Amino acid sequence: MSTPAPLHTIDLIRKKRDGLTLDDREIAFLANGAADGSIPIEQLAAWLMAAWIRGLSLGETRALTIAMRDSGEKFSPARLGKVAVDKHSTGGVGDKTSFLIAPLAAVCGVAVPMISGRALGHTGGTLDKLESIPGYRTALTLSEFETVLLKCGASIVSQTPSLVPADRVFYALRDRTGTVESPGLICASILSKKLAAGLDALVLDVKTGSGAFLRKQEDSQYLAALMVATAEAAGTRTVALLTDMGQPLGRAAGNWIELVESVELLRGHRPAQSEDLRELSLILAGWMIHLGGQAATPEAGYARAEAALGDGSALGNFFSMIEAQGGDVSVFNDPAGFHKPGATEVLLAWESGYIAEMDTTKIGWAVQRLGAGREKAGEPVDPHAGIDFNARRGARVEQGQPIATLYATSAALLAEPIALLKEAILISKTAPSKVPLVGRIFTRENAEAHLRDAVR
């Protein structure tokens, strides 16, 4: 057998730059070079930009996903004795469904090993939100992760240093080089981490609309189908739901305030401003319970999840997971007392009319710049920063009525987010038409066909 010719990064950059397709060995060379530091950062950045501009073929996306998955250690859920199912969202504003879904699916008999991320671009991060609970540890070892899963059925943690190291490098680089919004790169980034967690099944919440990384319906549909086909080819049962990110999900967007809203729902309350969050969480949990073999249909899974919300069992499970990870749940006894933002300002409606449109990406940047997100990787975030919305899309508001309450680290940080919110929110004389919360659903039955027909 002849020895394969040595590979050189410069050749792979030029190949992608010129619109050619890389083979599996070439893709693995790049992923391994990112993981072990043997390829210089500037060459990885150049290749990412070429991939962003030229796009990745289906084969390249699959190869990158697998190579990244295999670039470090992996978790095996075999000893949990249950079907392991996770949910992952492509990123949004006010997206806190994980805090409801993880305990809902866990109490219905599914194991939920959830490896989550931090804020990326304008979107919030599950880990940053959880770390607003005093003592909560997100950086568990894989053996501690397994212990929490055996005890509670769900655990939400960060990537370990050696789990998917290729993504750690690519993710940070993409955030700094304007190469986040690429279907192939997003697919490989998300799925490599999910597949490294050894999942049996996966429910994907693919955001669409003004706050999504890919705003256009057809791009979100392509990403959804791409992720389903890629994960199924790797042996994980996967479904993707296209969901609306044309406004923040629920009432709160920030860190601590998102946990407060979630726990309110887990306590069985149903504030009108949180109804979309409740509904989406039940739909996604219903799919997880179904794919986890605990309900015959997603609808039956929804009904089981709704019962677990009503009887308080999901709340008990969430609190036990927090305690198992070192968190102090007593802060939920007086959530308002714990909430200590440096500065607060109420934004009043500047005219009367209907909230017709929300540019959710701008709203996301406003949340980050209040102190809830970071300018540079590694910076601390303010647990108390964020925005509570008093009025949501479609609401009738009168001039002078509160629209949103902003919480900032300091008064000096309020001006830019207020200006962003005023640009982001359109008040109109006519009521907007209703946008469905969930759009198309992709499964292994329709994903490949969609990819074949999609014009790209």
One of 83, 84, 152, 186 touching ligand URA (CB under 6 A): 186
- Cβ distance 347 to 403 under 8 Å? yes
Is 167 part of the annotated catalytic residue set?
yes
Q: Binding to ligand URA by residue 221, rule CB under 6 A?
A: no
In the bound complex, which residue of the shown chain has the CB atom lying closest to ligand URA? 189
Q: Binding to ligand URA by residue 373, rule CB under 6 A?
A: no
Is 174 part of the annotated catalytic residue set?
yes
Q: Binding to ligand URA by residue 418, rule CB under 6 A?
A: no
Q: What angle do CA 147, 150, 155 make, to 5 degrees?
A: 70
What does the H/E/C string look like for 63-129? Answer: HHHHHHHCCCECCCHHHHCCCEEEEEECCCCCCCHHHHHHHHHHHCCCEEEEEECCCECCECCHHHH
Question: Which amino acid does the sequence have at 75?
Answer: F
One of 190, 266, 282, 283 touching ligand URA (CB under 6 A): 190
Is 88 part of the annotated catalytic residue set?
yes
Distances (CA, A) of 303 to 19, 69, 92, 277, 299: 49, 34, 26, 16, 6
Rounded Cα gap, residues 445 and 181, in angstroms: 26
Site mask, ligand URA, residues 77-116, x = CB under 6 A?
Answer: -------------xx-------------------------
Q: Binding to ligand URA by residue 291, rule CB under 6 A?
A: no
- DSSP structure class, residue 163: B
Rounded Cα gap, residues 421 and 293, in angstroms: 44
- Say which of 86, 128, 167, 276 is annotated catalytic: 167
Is 182 part of the annotated catalytic residue set?
no
* Least gap, CB of 194 to ligand URA (angstroms): 9
From its phi and psi, is residue 314 left (phi > 0), alpha (psi between -120 and 50) or beta? alpha
The stretch among 185-193, 244-252, 317-325, 407-415 that binds ligand URA (CB under 6 A) is 185-193
One of 33, 72, 113, 117 touching ligand URA (CB under 6 A): 117
Torsion angle, CA of 211/214/217/220, rounded to 10 degrees?
-120
Distances (CA, A) of 342 to 35, 214, 406: 40, 34, 11
The stretch among 35-43, 184-192, 283-291, 348-356 that binds ligand URA (CB under 6 A) is 184-192
Q: Binding to ligand URA by residue 202, rule CB under 6 A?
A: no
- Say which of 82, 193, 384, 392 is annotated catalytic: 193
Q: Binding to ligand URA by residue 120, rule CB under 6 A?
A: yes
Number of Cβ within 10 Å of residue 412's Cβ equals 10
* Least gap, CB of 278 to ligand URA (angstroms): 24
* Least gap, CB of 127 to ligand URA (angstroms): 12
- Cβ distance 252 to 386 under 8 Å? yes
* Least gap, CB of 260 to ligand URA (angstroms): 24
Is 189 part of the annotated catalytic residue set?
yes
Residues that bind ligand URA (CB under 6 A): 90-91, 117, 120, 180, 186, 189-190
Residues designated catalytic: 88, 167, 174, 189, 193
